Amino acid sequence: MLYRHRTLDTPRGPLSTPVLFPVRNIGKRSTDNTPEYADSIPDLPTAMVNARAIRRRKPQWERLQHEATLREEMNVPEETIVFADSGGFDFHSEKLDTTPTETLETQQQIGADILGTVDLPLNREYRTEKKQRRIQRSIEYALTASDSHDGDELLFASVHGYDPETIRNTIRYLDRNGSFDGFAIGSLVPIRTDYKKTTKLILAARQATEKHLHVYGLGGIVYQPLLLYLGVDSFDSSSFIRSAGNRNYLLPGFGGRELGKIEELDRLPCSCPVCGSRTFEEVRADRGLLTIHNLWALAIELRRFRYMVAAGEDIEAYLDLRFRGNEVTHRAYLTAKQQVRRLT
């Protein structure tokens, strides 16, 4: 197992890892409607925001420049540790409209603690030549950001690749030629159902660096144990919001379940602050409650894994049991286990 427990020193204070960064929708809407969680889930003093989206929403950008702080806009404590990516995921479908320097300025102006460099994610439909051009441009943008960055914030280079060798070579090249505190692997969401390929790419990244490793967009309830097993230090997810919109109930060990398909039930099986005191119908009828529960489910998944490690339990046996209910994910875990055992 490559799981590791560390402390990341950020400008706003130490952060215990591995950790989840819940994706906030600030900038994507007129107001941030992500439910409050910072005070109720103490092990999630974190948030992931999209720097490009915030800058493009002009009224909000005006407030942030003159009268408000990002954390006030999000209604979270000032000590919340914010990771601002470049908004690169939007560049799947939209033309690049920023520069490494402008993105860096935006991230610093909103008071982000961790900065992700401008990147051009890959799509599985792209030809190899196009993928290679986008990888090369993302490398150039990362190095430009490295040259321009002179603040206390942590700078993570955004990395893309379509095979393990490209991932390894890109990280090692960036590490030799730039100054980065960590690396963030992208372009995995479009291939997330190909568990075998995805885990190989992540493992290649883990092998290439001892520095902090973040995975963009895969911190949902199914992938999270795999990421922890593979030694990923942090991950982000918006699945708690998207799943609630579809009335999907996330449950550690089981994944998501559609509440609409359940006809008769008095209480839900989770004992989180949302489910513990409310009836099944109350939770099913309230999207906001379901969103908070789903975030609790992600936090519990992480807590459970940490507990198993701290208690000295056999993690591989735990994951064998954890994934046995789903043939696809169980096969993915077995593949990851084979790869990890060759390294350890």
Least confident range from 162-166, 191-195, 272-276, 326-330: namely 326-330
What's the pLDDT tens digit per position in 15-52? 999 999 999 988 876 666 677 787 789 989 999 999 99
pLDDT at 31: 63
Residue whose token pair is 């046995």: 324
What's the pLDDT tens digit per position in 299-321? 999 999 999 999 999 999 999 98
What's the pLDDT tens digit per position in 275-306? 999 999 999 999 999 999 999 999 999 999 99
Inform me whether the pLDDT recorded for 343 exceeds 80: no
Q: What is the mean pLDDT of residues 113-139?
A: 93
pLDDT at 200: 92
| Exposure string over 287-305, b if 16+ CB within 10 A, otherwise e | eebbbbbbbbbbbbbbebb
Over the chain, what is the mean pLDDT? 92
Q: What percent of the chain lies above the pLDDT cut of 70?
A: 98
Among residues 184, 137, 180, which one has the least CA distance to residue 159?
184
pLDDT at 211: 98
Q: In angstroms, rounded to a whole number, what is the distance separating the alpha carbons of residues 326 and 303?
A: 22
Q: What is the mean pLDDT of residues 211-218?
A: 97
What's the pLDDT tens digit per position in 58-74? 988 999 998 899 999 88
